[in-house]
Chains A and B, each alone.
Chain A
Amino acid sequence: MKCEEFLERLDADEGWREKEAQAHAEACPSCREAAERWSAASNIFAAMKEDDAPPFLHTRIMARVREEGARKPFWYAPSLFRAAWAGPLLVLAIVFVVGGYGLITTIEPARKAVPQSELAKPEEMAKGDKSIAGDNRTPTPQIELPALGASSAQAKPRPAQERKKAAAVSSEPGLGKRRDEASAFAPSARLDEAEGVATRSAAVPTGEPEAQGTLSSAPEIAIKQEAAAAGGAAQAPRAPVEASKSAVTNEAAAAPAAPSRYLLVDLVECTLEAEGDKEYVVLKLPPAQCPPTGQLWEVTVAQNGAVEVKDTQGQGKESLKQILEARIQELKLLPGRYRLGRLGR
């Protein structure tokens, strides 16, 4: 073995204590001296393992650690999710959820009970056709729907300011400006409103007696009849419908203590707008007679009061024509061309 190999083994601390290496060290004074020196150094290193740490080292370390622990942000602390916090947080979350649901269910019926406040929003009309609803459109006043065949005194009274405004508009000369829908417009009659029930429906008696609280307890069969009645209204002549409405009104006025079963017919709000004009009238029509959402039907009022209604395909609408002809005096429509569209909601 050569000295270089022995020193390599010594530096690597591998194999320099083997017999072959020891034999070389015995023969080579320099390698033996190097090995002895390294052994002495190893002993000194080993003695260094016993060096003691300064006093209070543990105290200082833990002081720093505790200071760090106290500075932890709240979201880092695992105790946030422990029982001490989990209980109140859970209760708080439940209160928010239940309270929010209760608030919504309280507000929603109240909002539905006053639908007129939503009827005259011009921005809602713009949903159907932007050509109708320009930015400078004049919103229609709120339209109050009187009860079917009932006198205006039975209807829900309007605010004084609104009545004054509507009267001023009605007195304006020229093409049918802002006006209230006439009470004789059969599908829009609302017996329920006259009775203080907040729904937008037409009520048609079926002739069968029923206990008090008819609207909320109306049987399901009545709803089906309603659909049938609404579908038939599109084809049936106008007069029988109005006759039945009058009968309802008379019956309701004559015998309020014995309410009948009512058919509920949902009405759809539509706007009738004069071409080139900025004002419009809000009508309430049965769904079967309304233009589909987004479509505008053309309504022409002749000098003699005849009405012609055409859809987008140019096809006439006879049932709607009859309704409008019956209402033309009350609507005070002047001869000319109008557009009929569904009021977007």
Chain B
Amino acid sequence: MNIGARVYYPSAMRAWGAPARRLIASDPDSADVARFQDGDEAAFETLVRRHEREAYRAAYRLLGNQDDAQEAVQEAFLRAFRSLRAFRGEAAFKTWLTGIVINVCRNHAAKAEENVRRRSVPVDCNEDDNGAPEPPPIRDAAPGPEQSALGSELRMAIVAALGKVGVEHREVLVLREIQGMEYEELAAALNCPVGTVKSRLCRARRALREMLDGVWP
């Protein structure tokens, strides 16, 4: 009977923190992950240094706020530190970390939305059709001086549109267009099938294109 080369670890062993060493061979982080799981905590700093910028960019584009993004990235790496010993290597570390960042950002967004709802609504506040106040606009804090006026305007328009599309659409747009992730990585990070990712991405682009129709010169 050919059972292949897979190693099965009982759940009891995994509960005690024994990682299943099935790290994918193409993952450049597998060596550092293995070092950390063997007890070398310094390896985690290497992983942080390698992925902190991308994690921050994703969090910043998802939350639209530098402070919230920094807080979210710290929280995400903290969660990764806690659970990396049980990381089974079924996906690349970057994909796994992106999933954590997305979950943290969802929690932050939910808290921010709750805070907005609890806040007293001013008389001149913009309200949508349902009477709910609009979420705070997403700001772009990094327009480069080298950018042209038109480019800056378009950039601000795209950032504003990103803040207005739904959370699911914003997630796939950020991860695909800004982070440059493949469909399979997106599916793993968002924990959904590849087909769902593609259809969701298609709807997100259409929504963004429609929002930008009035902005283009």
A binding-site residues for B, Cβ under 8 Å? 7-8, 10-13, 33-34, 37-38, 40-42, 44-45, 47-49, 51-54, 57-58, 60-62, 64-65, 68-69, 78-79, 82
How many A-B residue pairs lie within 8 Å, measured between CB atoms? 91
* B33-89 residues at the A interface, CB under 8 angstroms: 39, 41, 44-45, 48-49, 52-53, 56-57, 60-61, 66, 70, 73-74, 77-78, 81-82
Q: Does B166 lie at the interface of the complex (its beta carbon under 8 Å from any beta carbon of A)?
A: no
Does A37 contact B209, Cβ atoms closer than 8 Å?
A: yes
B-side contacts of A65, CB under 8 Å? 44-45, 48, 77-78, 81
Does A60 contact B70, Cβ atoms closer than 8 Å?
A: yes
B-side contacts of A78, CB under 8 Å? 39
Q: Does B112 lie at the interface of the complex (its beta carbon under 8 Å from any beta carbon of A)?
A: no
A53→B147 CA distance, assembly (Å): 19
Q: With A40-B154, A58-B52 as given contacts, are A45 and B178 in contact (CB-CB < 8 Å)?
A: yes
B-side contacts of A38, CB under 8 Å? 205, 209
Does A37 contact B216, Cβ atoms closer than 8 Å?
A: yes
- For the residues of B in contact with A, the DSSP-based class is helix
Partner of A53, one of B56, B180, B205: B56
Q: Does B151 lie at the interface of the complex (its beta carbon under 8 Å from any beta carbon of A)?
A: yes
Does B73 contact A49, Cβ atoms closer than 8 Å?
A: no
Q: Does B192 lie at the interface of the complex (its beta carbon under 8 Å from any beta carbon of A)?
A: no
* Number of interface residues, chain B, beta carbon within 8 A: 41
Q: With A44-B151, A44-B158, A68-B82 as given contacts, are A11 and B206 in contact (CB-CB < 8 Å)?
A: yes
Does A49 contact B154, Cβ atoms closer than 8 Å?
A: no
A38→B151 CA distance, assembly (Å): 13
Does B177 contact A64, Cβ atoms closer than 8 Å?
A: no
Q: Does B155 lie at the interface of the complex (its beta carbon under 8 Å from any beta carbon of A)?
A: yes
Does B209 contact A44, Cβ atoms closer than 8 Å?
A: no
Q: With A41-B154, A61-B73 as given contacts, are A54 and B66 in contact (CB-CB < 8 Å)?
A: yes
Nearest residue, chain B, Cβ from A9: B202
Does B177 contact A57, Cβ atoms closer than 8 Å?
A: no
Q: With A51-B57, A51-B142, A65-B77 as given contacts, are A34 and B209 in contact (CB-CB < 8 Å)?
A: yes
A-side contacts of B14, CB under 8 Å? none
Nearest residue, chain A, Cβ from B48: A61
* B181-217 residues at the A interface, CB under 8 angstroms: 198, 201-203, 205-206, 208-209, 212, 216
A-side contacts of B41, CB under 8 Å? 69
B-side contacts of A42, CB under 8 Å? 177
8 contacting pairs across A/B (C-beta < 8 A): A8-B202, A11-B209, A44-B151, A47-B155, A57-B52, A57-B56, A64-B74, A64-B78
| Minimum C-beta distance from A34 to chain B (A) | 7
B-side contacts of A60, CB under 8 Å? 70, 74
Q: With A11-B206, A37-B209 as given contacts, are A61 and B52 in contact (CB-CB < 8 Å)?
A: yes
B-side contacts of A52, CB under 8 Å? 53, 142
Does B158 contact A57, Cβ atoms closer than 8 Å?
A: no
| Minimum C-beta distance from B66 to chain A (A) | 6
Does B154 contact A44, Cβ atoms closer than 8 Å?
A: yes
Does B177 contact A45, Cβ atoms closer than 8 Å?
A: yes
Knowing that A49-B178, A57-B73, A62-B48 are A-B contacts, what are 11 other residue pairs whose CB atoms are under 8 Å apart, sorted by A's residue number? A12-B202, A33-B216, A41-B158, A48-B178, A51-B57, A61-B48, A61-B74, A61-B77, A64-B74, A65-B48, A65-B77
A54→B68 CA distance, assembly (Å): 12
